[in-house]
Structure formats: structure tokens, C-alpha cells
Structure 1
Amino acid sequence: MVKHNTLNFQPLTRPFWNKLIPILLGVIAYFVVVGPEHLNPTNINWIQGGDGAQHYLGWTFFRHDGWRFPIGLNPNYGANIGSSIVFADAIPLFAIPFKILSPWLATDFQYFGLWTLLCFILQAWFGWLLTGLFTRTLAVQIMGSGLFVFAIPMLFRINLHAALTAHFFILAALYLNLSRLQNHRLWYWALLLVGSLATHFYIFAIIAALWLASALDSYWPNKTLSLKKLLIEITSLVTFTGFMAWQLGYFASASNETVLNHYSGFSPEFFVFFNSNGWSYLLPSFYSTTEEKNNFLGLGIISLLIIGLIGAFFKKIPLWSKLKYYPFFILSLVVLALVAFSNHVEIGPWAFDYPLPLSLQFALGNVRNSGRFLWPHMYLITFLVIYLITRAFAKRAVFILMLGLLLQIGDSSIKWYSMRQFISTTAHQPSAFAKATQGLKSSFWNIAAQKYQRIDMIPLKQMSMQYFTKGEDWDWARFASFAATHKLATNMVYLSRVDTKKIDAANAHYDRLFKEGKFDPNTIYILDQEKIVPALMHLNSEADLLANIDGMIVLAPGWKNCQFCPVIPIDHEYRAAFIRPVLNQPVMFNKDGNGTWYLIGIGQFPIIGWGWSYPESWGAWAEGREAHLALPTPLAPFSSLIFDTNPLLSPSHPKQRVVVKINGDFHSLQILDDTHRQMRLSINSEKLGRPDYLAIEFIFIDQAKPQEIGLGVDARVLSIGLISAIFE
């Protein structure tokens, strides 16, 4: 017979040997789901790019840097951006102590396997404690702990977001709330708050909400905490966590990259707990959604929920009598759910938005993945399921829970087993970081690593994941891996948050370097195509190298004066005798014209999705959704720039609309047709500060394939052809 408490949830005391059971359960579950290769700290081969590369590289730069104050700063990984170990999502809770041990660690060392094992163990441990709040039956606790371990939103994070597998913090916070444990509560909550803060911000935000609810419930209605103690607890914990946030590096970035557009970007759909999203053999997805929104309960828990609710109905099990003890806890869950679902509501294939005050949108701007705030609700449903089964089916509860657990494990193996196979396979393959740098074949790179202390990308992109050159997201990892291997600083990084003001300031600094032709002698620069012209305009070609090395545009200050640096073949260098445009004289963009230098991305459409077709006898077609050019300016003041164009027009396609941006700012919307083929741009050179060049971007609204609008068989995506430009 199942024995259980009949009143309030109370912690259960068991013999010490019993407490080893959840530890063993967590270890077994880890090796079943993940496998042994993941645990080897010197095996980094299973880390195959994306977020995993961000975490490992962030840790690698952190371990090789000296100690700083605050201790979480990580400036070599994200130079000029304001970087810390926090924004690499590299789990400061492990990164900081392992940095102390770094001199004795292997060259290739990762702690993410050990961290994941710890998460499994603690998930089982706190699942065991939660189940013990209402049952004294050992077998029920084992089954209940197993259901918490096989929570799909936690399993989904393995090998993706290591820090976010730490759901045990949420279980621990739920335990402290439901048990209403008061002994040493200040220390317990301090550990949870600081531990979660040193793990991941989203988990910390959940823990903070549950802590505040616990404190207020303890004051009223439970009256186990006096007003004085309540104020002391709130003041001390807020102060302490604020201090720790500063030390961990949370304030190294203003994180204003998000703000208005990202809140609700990953808000969950209404049936999120029941949509399998590919995590079930038997239960099909109701509709497709991004994996980031995954909060699927699992078929085992859903089945147990149905059985438990039916049993509760017939046995008339009271559920609401306990709620009076937890008013603020319930309120915190309501608030977390409202934030999670956001103002973008999805119900199946239907969606609608409702307005929020601008100030609230701004405050929630950093909550990009709001669906994560439903994790406490998912675990409470699991807790409720186990509770109802034990109450409604006392004699058969163990058997029913065992069947539910087996169904949960087996049905979800459609995903976790393939993940295990992926880890096992890639663990025996070459490192992704070694593969990332294979494209750097020239001997130039090893010599450069000896000569320079830093490698920077120009321009620095205003996004978390840095893209450049060919638009491949692994380009950032190529040079970050190179920099990590040679212990160089770099701004080519992938961060969870970036400070756009610092990025703008960095790019303004780079622009000044181009204008003065004076570059940092300790930094090697990787340029985007748009920066070739600005670099050539003031380049000291006697000392500085501007060349194409392995397909990369490289600016190496002082290379030609370096005694041990090899000579780069002349045909690899970018050289141009620039004659700046003159007022009222055209710059021609045909194949023999002087303007082809200024067209960015010639022949690059198949790779990056935009650019220019190879110039023809009359000019050059813009290909794709946008086109760019870097156009030098006359020495004399000018007030307008006129482009002669050849717009793609037909009877069924009578106009071309073009959005024009200059130096990143919107300038005008130009409409071209049969009678209007010029783009006349009013530009006051004095107001722009007499720039050396204009970075011009065309965004096309009416691009089309000629073959689709009755103009032959040409299948290119075209919009306008550029013939000439003239300053007036």
C-alpha cells in the first residue's frame, strides 16, 4: 500500500543510503541518454559549431587571459564590444574555478560533459525531494524522480545550450516554495540565486521570481517570516546578487542590441505542452514550430495526466485546499506565464498581437526566448501528475507510474537516441575547430600569429552572430578558433548579447584609421569588400600589406617592413592608383570603366544572395535583393549625386522602386520607370563632414527574373543596371 501525507506538503526524512538512489538514477540516465564520450574532458570533437562553439571558445579565451576585475571580464573574446564570460554562455559557475586550475589542464579541455552529468544528478535529486513531499513509498519516489529527469525541455538542451540544462535550479526553487522550509532559508535562496546567476540569466530570472514569491508567502499568509526578517532577506539578497552580477560581468555590456524587436520572437504557442515537435514516435506534431519553443511534456506524462485527472474526478481529490498557502507563488506563475506567452499569441495556425506600452516592450526587450519562462509550469504539471496518481490509485500507483516512465523514456528516444549517436560519432571525428581553420592554408597566418597580438574584423557587425565575407556563420568561428589557438585577442565572436553603442564606437574608430591611414601595428585586420576602397585611399603601400590571402581580404600593418615575414606575391595584393572623381565628370561602371572598383560583390550573388553581375559593355546589373558600392568623393564640395540607370522594365513590370541608404542611414525612395531613369540624390558634403567616400546601399522592392516578365530567358534576379554616376 502506498503511504502518503494527507495534509500539507512536508519534507520527508529517509536513511542516508536512500539518498544515494537519486544520484545513481541521475548517473544512469546520463550514460543512457548522452553516453560516455561526452564526459571525456579532453574530447572537444563532439562540439560541432553554433552555440557549442560559442561556449567552448568563450571559455578558452577566458582561461588563457589573466585575472581581471571584475573577475568575469573576457575582453580578448569580443575586443571593443564589452565582453564577459557571461555573454559567451560558458557557465561562469564552472569557468571561474576551472580557470584557477587552467595551468594543470590539457590544452583542449571542456567541462560541459561534467556539467551535464551534474545536471542529471541534481535533476534526479530534487525530483526525488519534490516527490518525497507527499509520499513515503520508495518506488514512487524513484518513478517520480525518473519523470523529472526525462523532462524533454531539459533533454533538448543537451549538446545545444549546456547552461540551460540546469533545470535542477527550478526544481530546487519549487521544492523550497512547496515545502515552506524555513530553516536556513536565507542561505538556501542565496545559493540558488547566485548559482543560477552564475549559470544563465533566464534561469536566474525564474529563480528570482520564485524566491520573491516564497518570501512574500512566508510573510503572509503563512506568517513564518516577520516583516523585519522579510526586509532583511530582500535587502541582503538583492545587494548580494547585484554585487555578484557585477563581478560575473553582467554589466560589461549595455545589451541594447535587443530592445523592441526581439520580445515575443520565440513566444510559445497555446498548446505548447502537448505539441510533440518531433519528440514522439506516437504523438504527431499538431503543427511545425521552432525547437526553441519546445515545452512538450512527453507522451508518458500526458498519459499519466489524463489518468490522474480521471482518478481525481472519481475519487474527489481536493486540489484547491492547499492553494491558500501559496497566493504569491501562484501570482508569480501567472506573471511568468504572461511574460512567456507575450503579446504575440499563437493558437495552432492562427496568431494575433495586442499592443503593449512602449516602456514595457523596452523593459522586456532582452527576453528573446520568453517560452523558457514556462519551465516551472511544466514541472508543476509533472509534480501534479505524480501527486494525483498516488492519491487516486494508491495500490496501483507504482505500476501506473512505472508504465508512464517507460512510455516517457521510450517515446522520447526518437530524439535523444539520435543525439546520443551524433555525440558518439562526432567524438571520433576531427575537431570542428580544426576544420574551421583548414581554409587558412597560407604560411602567412602562422607568421602573422607571431607578429600580431590581435585580429579584428572591419566593419564590426551589429548582431550577436557575426557574419562577413561569404555570409557563412562559421567565418566567425574560423578566426575565433585561430585566435584562440594562437592566444590572440579578436572581435570576431558570437555573443548572446552585444552593446550596439560600443559596436558603433568601434566602427567609428576604424573609419578614423582608414581616413588617417594609421593602423594599430599590433593588429591584423580582416576586411569586408566594402572596405577595400577606403583602405586603398590612404594606404601606406610601402609598409602596409592589403592582399587577398586564402580568399580573405587582409590588411597587415607594417608587414612589408618585417624582416621575418615572407613576401606576398604581387598578384595577391590590392593596388589601385586612385584618381578621385571630379565634379561634373562621370564615373563609368562598364567593364572598361573606372567605377568597377567601387562595386561590392561582383559575381557574389550565388554565395551571398546579392551583389553585381560581371560588368558588361554598357554597365553592370544589380543582382538579388540589394546592392552596395563604396564610391570615393570629389575633393571639391558637392550637393548632389546622379546615377544613370537601366531599370528592368516590361509592360507587366512597369517600375522599379529602390530604397537608397547612404552611410547606413535612409536617404530616399527612388521610383524608376520608362520616363524616369535617373536617381538624383541630394547630398550636402559639408554636412556629412567632407567624407572620403560614400557607402551606398540600394534595396530593391521590385526585383524580378527577366524570363518571368516576358524579357527572354534570363533567369537572374535583376532590378537596375548601373551605367554611371556623376557628382554635382
Structure 2
Amino acid sequence: MSPNTRSSDVEGSRGWVAPLLAASFGLLWYLAVGGGPTLNPTHLDWLGGDFAQHALGWMHFRDAPWGFPLGGTPSLLRPLPMTVALSDSNPWVSLALKPFTRWLPRDFQFIGPWLALCFMLQGWLGAKLTGLFTPNVLQRFLGGALFVLAPVLLYRTGHDTLCAQWLLTGMLWLNLRPRASPRQAWTSLAWALLLNALASGIHPYLEVMVFALGLSLLATVTWKEQHLSRREAALALAVLCAVPAALFVLFGYVGLGVRSGSAGFGHFSSDLLTLVNPMDWSRMLPGLPTAAGQYEGFGYLGTGVLALAVAALWKSRGLAPQVREQLRARTPLVIVLLLLALLAFSSVLTVAGGTVLSIRKVVAPLLPLLSPFRASGRFIWPLHYAVLTGLLAFTLWRWRQRPAVATGLLLGAVLLQALDTTDLWTRNHFAPTPWPRLKAPGWALIDASYRHLVLVPPYVHLSESPCVQSAFVERDYVSFGDLAYRRGLTTNSGYPARLSETRVTEVCESLLADVARGQLAADTVYVVDPARLEAFQRLGDAVSCGTVEGFHVCVTRRAGGFSDALTRPAPSPPGTSGDSPR
């Protein structure tokens, strides 16, 4: 089960063949489950939920001036702090595309191409990882295909940045690849630093996992392989800590006075049976019960991989000493994987949804550190991929004298894994979701004299501040965010991944107080919740109010343009009675 030294020889000649085939399989799999339409960068009619949040963040960033923090979007959620990091808009990709914004279509999304790239990179690195255990090109390809088919990857396509799970596969490859000299150790650490830098600008959860796997690599090359002195290890550790910390500040993940809140830690966890629980994934196997919120901890290995485990481990009890020896040789990695799994299981350990142990009191002092990662169930992914790697290594080692058997088992696992994926047959993972664009002609009358588009009260998605409670819904913040983007306005509403409830309340109350005093800005279009409309109506002739596309809209009265249009009755389409106010 040790990395195959013969594999290194293949790497130098045709080692790219299997990764390329596996990457191609990754793209084909993405198309097979319905991802084809998403590859059109001008196609927005599938971007619902979190996708809309991410697309809107990119749209506002592409027109924003450069500033600090990097990726700032001052036109979104104004005056609250907002960046592409806080809108989960893939900071690295957004930054890479911003210099080309003048040449890109106004309706432009990179989420679909990014998802396809993630599947391809997962295949590439999965084949590289499998190549540590076999020089056989077909076996490497099949191993890479199993990484592409990992249920935890397709399951996460609803949140594009979390699909960069190739970072975890890459870190496992770095941890397990053989190193014969200090130079090779430093090369591995340099690659680990690069993956940490990438993860820091993709998603914080992934960076925590990548960083932890970087620590296991550092411990391995220092204490197990003795390629680094303690002083060199300390220097490497300092750099490994400093780069992500600096990037977190640079992108605005920290330092803006926002947080995700502690509510939910222990709720969005993994069940102890998550690796073998299909939930609703399998067409063949029934799901086991889970507690509410444990969808975040989905870690099912897949029916094909479970079948491979049964075949590989059948009558293998006598091989246990060799397995223990291999695990001891990788003690730092094993420890890190178990710690991440413990974090995934969180403060309440469950089996099939039933609580078996609560350690809330033990965890309570650590909540300030853990609360930003309340969806702790996601930390099961490294263990998922490590178990898959171990099964591949064991299968290839056990039948090393009979490679045809090993190849047949891997092929069977790939076919079963693919055919038992419900989404292959339903193709509903990227169901059409019309982009909620406002189309009434009245919006086109908003001229350059207006600079701000303000919802009263602000819509701040997932905020629990009583002040922002209204009849506005999630779709509305996207509609007006899109309108603000197209008309070159700012908007006070949005969906921040992290926020300050105190600051949200202050901004909301200040806005409502201004309205109550009649202190309206002449350069602002106010979209008013029905419950707040009376405060505008009391201002009499100082304002012009009307309905546009079913929304109550008010501005300070002026001659001509949008102000006059609001006071004129909107023409009703044939067979209707006009707009229905919202």
C-alpha cells in the first residue's frame, strides 16, 4: 500500500495520460448530470438561491473601483461592508476577470464554467493520487473517475465555491507522495502553500481543511521523514500561517467587524454513519435517519465505493498488521483527519439521527473559535476522500499480482457509482430558474440624477434584526440588486455570508428615522414595504409615489422624468386590472 516507486518512472514519460483522461471524464460527468446549459457564460436563467448571491456579488464588483479590502463592492448592501468574499463570489476568479470587464457581456456569469473546471481538476488530481499506488494508466484513470463521482462533490454543486474539493485531493496527494530528499520536501511544502493561498481566496471552510492537511504534511516531512530541521520547520509553519492570515485580511473575511454567529454549531453536523448513509442519494440503498441540519454533513461514499470496500476487504483479516503499519507511517495525517472528523461530528454525536453523546459543556469554551464554522459537518470531506484513497490503495496492493482483477473491481465500482446516482437520471441539479429581472418600462426612466436604490426597510438576507423584517422576499433583493447593477446605482440590500446584527439594526433604524422626519435624499429611489408606505404618504406633495411592477416606489417630487411617471396611472395590459401592489 506504500506509494509505488515504479509510478515515479511513469510520471516522467506518460504520467499525464491518465490525469487528462480523468479530467475529460470529469467534464463528461458534469454534462451528464445536466450541467451543459450552465457553460454558457451569458445564461443566467439557472442562478437561483446561493448562485444568485454569488452572481450578484460579481456583477457589482466588476464595476467597483479598486480599493481595500480587495474585492470590495461598495454599491451592494450600502452602507454595510460588502466584498466578493462576503458574497461568496469566488474572490480569486472575480479578481482575475475584473481587468477584462469592459470586454465581457453585461450578463456574464462564470459559475457554470467554474463548476465544470472543479470536476475536471478533481479527475486530474484523483488520477495523480491513484498513480502513487499503480503505474497502470487504466487503473489511474478509474481511480480518478471515482474521485469525480464522489457524491459529496455533486451534492455541493448548489454552492459553487465549495466544489473546489480538488484542493483536498491535491493535499492528500502531497501528503502521500514519496520524498527522497529535503529538496523534494520543500517542493511539496511550496505546493501546499500555493493550495492554501488558493483556498484562502475561494472559501474559508476549504482553507481550514487545506491548512490542517498542510500541518500534517509539515509534521510528516519534519518528524517522520526528517527532511527538515526544527528551525526550518518553524520557518515553514510561520509562512504557512502568515499567507492565509494575510489573504483573509486582504479579502475582508476578517477585520470588517462581521461574523457568522454562533447559532447552529452542533446543529449542522455530521452523523457518525454519514460515510455509509445514502440519505436520498442512492437509487438502490435506503437512507438512514438524520437529525435536522445534518444535510451539511453529508459524506456518503457512494454505492460503488461501498461495493468496492466489501470486495477489497473480503477475507482480508490476515492483512490487518500491514494496514496498521501503513497507518502508523502516516500518523500526522491520520491525526489531522480524525480531528477534522471530530469537528464535523460537532458537540452532539449522533447515530442515525439519535443522540448518543453530548459534549456541549466541553466545547462551550471553544465556541468563539468554532462559531464562524457553524456548518461543521463539511469537515467530513477530508475523511471521505482519505477513505476513498485508502480503499483504492488497498485494492491495488492486494491484487498487485493479478492486475486484471484490480482493474475489474475498479471498473465495476465506477459503473455502479455512476448508475446509482439519481441525478444522472433526473438531471435536475441545474433546473431552470428564471433570473428575476424587473422588466417594467418605468424602471428605464430612472436617469443619471439618481444614484441610490433603497429598500425600506433594507432586505438583509438571514439577518434576525427585528428592524429589517418586512414583506420583501429573497427574490426581491436579487431583482433590485440586478436593477441597481444595470442602472449604475447602489442598493442597500443583499445577502452577506457574514454580518454584524448590531450594525444592521443601526443602519435600518437610521433609515426609518430619516423617513419619519421627511429627510429623503433627492438622488434616491425608495422601494417601500407596504407596512411603511404611510410614512411616505404623510409627506404629501414633497414626494411622488406610485407602483411599478407591483412594488411601491417613492422619490422626492420634481418636474418630469421618473417622478412624474410615478404619479401617472400605469397602463394595464389587456384583460388585467393593473399592477397588484406588493
* TM-score normalised by L of structure 2: 0.88
| Residues 264, 343 of structure 1: 8 Å contact kept | yes
Q: Distance in 2 between matches of 1:323 and 1:566?
A: 76
The one-letter code of the counterpart of 1:179 is: R
Q: Distance in 2 between matches of 1:230 and 1:554?
A: 62
Q: Distance in 1 between matches of 2:117 and 2:233?
A: 32
Higher strand share: 1
Q: Distance in 2 between matches of 1:5 and 1:211?
A: 20
Which of 25, 28, 43 aligns to 1:28? It is: 25
Instruction: Write out aligned runs for 1:276-355 (5 A).
Output: 276-287=278-289, 291-315=295-319, 318-351=322-355, 353-355=358-360
Instruction: Write out aligned runs for 1:68-83 (5 A).
Output: 68-83=67-82
Number of residues of Structure 1 aligned to a counterpart in Structure 2: 554
Q: CA deviation at 1:16?
A: 4.3
Q: Distance in 1 between matches of 2:192 and 2:49?
A: 33
| Residues 218, 225 of structure 1: 8 Å contact kept | yes
Question: Unpaired runs of 5+ in structure 1?
Answer: 573-606, 609-728
Q: Name the SS of the counterpart of 2:279 in structure 1.
A: coil
Query: What's 2:420 paired with?
Result: 411
| Residues 459, 472 of structure 2: 8 Å contact kept | no
Q: CA deviation at 1:452?
A: 1.6
Q: Distance in 1 between matches of 2:423 and 2:256?
A: 36
Q: CA deviation at 1:95?
A: 0.8
| Residues 442, 565 of structure 2: 8 Å contact kept | no
Q: CA deviation at 1:571?
A: 8.8
Question: Unpaired runs of 5+ in structure 2?
Answer: 180-184, 571-580
Instruction: Write out aligned runs for 1:308-707 (5 A).
Output: 308-315=312-319, 318-351=322-355, 353-356=358-361, 357-394=363-400, 395=402, 396-412=405-421, 414-419=422-427, 423=430, 426=432, 432-433=434-435, 435-438=436-439, 441=440, 443-448=441-446, 450-461=448-459, 463-464=461-462, 469-470=470-471, 472-536=473-537, 539=539, 541-556=540-555, 558-561=556-559, 565-569=563-567
Decide which moves more: 268-277 or 194-203: 268-277
Query: What's 2:272 paired with?
Result: 270
Q: Distance in 1 between matches of 2:187 and 2:529?
A: 57
The one-letter code of the counterpart of 1:372 is: R
Q: CA deviation at 1:465?
A: 6.9
Cα deviation 1:330-373 (Å, max 9, x = unaligned):
22222211211111222214236432354312321121211110
| Residues 83, 252 of structure 1: 8 Å contact kept | no
Q: Identify if the C-alpha distance between structure 1 residues 378 and 543 changes in structure 2 by more than 3 Å, giving closer, same or farther.
A: same
Q: Name the SS of the counterpart of 2:224 in structure 1.
A: coil
Q: Name the SS of the counterpart of 1:360 in structure 2.
A: helix
Q: Distance in 2 between matches of 1:231 and 1:315?
A: 38
Q: Name the SS of the counterpart of 2:541 in structure 1.
A: coil
Q: Distance in 1 between matches of 2:178 and 2:508?
A: 53
Q: Name the SS of the counterpart of 1:54 in structure 2.
A: helix
Cα deviation 1:665-722 (Å, max 9, x = unaligned):
xxxxxxxxxxxxxxxxxxxxxxxxxxxxxxxxxxxxxxxxxxxxxxxxxxxxxxxxxx
Higher helix share: 2
Q: Distance in 2 between matches of 1:118 and 1:12?
A: 28
Query: What's 2:96 paired with?
Result: 97
Which of 241, 244, 260 aligns to 1:241? It is: 244
Q: CA deviation at 1:150?
A: 0.6
Cα deviation 1:410-443 (Å, max 9, x = unaligned):
111x124423x664x73xxxx722x4425xx3x4
Percent identity over paired residues: 24
Query: What's 2:258 paired with?
Result: 255
Q: Identify if the C-alpha distance between structure 1 residues 559 and 422 changes in structure 2 by more than 3 Å, giving closer, same or farther.
A: farther
Q: Name the SS of the counterpart of 2:299 in structure 1.
A: coil
Instruction: Write out aligned runs for 1:227-238 (5 A).
Output: 227-238=230-241
Q: Name the SS of the counterpart of 2:553 in structure 1.
A: strand
Q: CA deviation at 1:536?
A: 5.0
Cα deviation 1:511-557 (Å, max 9, x = unaligned):
441343212222222233443344455x3x3332344444323332x
Q: Identify if the C-alpha distance between structure 1 residues 279 and 486 changes in structure 2 by more than 3 Å, giving closer, same or farther.
A: same
The one-letter code of the counterpart of 2:24 is: V
Q: CA deviation at 1:227?
A: 1.4
Query: What's 1:178 paired with?
Result: 176
* TM-score normalised by L of structure 1: 0.71
Q: Name the SS of the counterpart of 2:225 in structure 1.
A: coil
The one-letter code of the counterpart of 1:204 is: E
Decide which moves more: 123-132 or 232-241: 232-241
Q: Identify if the C-alpha distance between structure 1 residues 474 and 16 changes in structure 2 by more than 3 Å, giving closer, same or farther.
A: farther
- Give the number of the structure with larger relative contact order, counting CA–CA contacts within 8 Å between residues 6 or more apart: 2
Cα deviation 1:15-41 (Å, max 9, x = unaligned):
444403322322233233334332222
Q: Distance in 1 between matches of 2:36 and 2:460?
A: 39
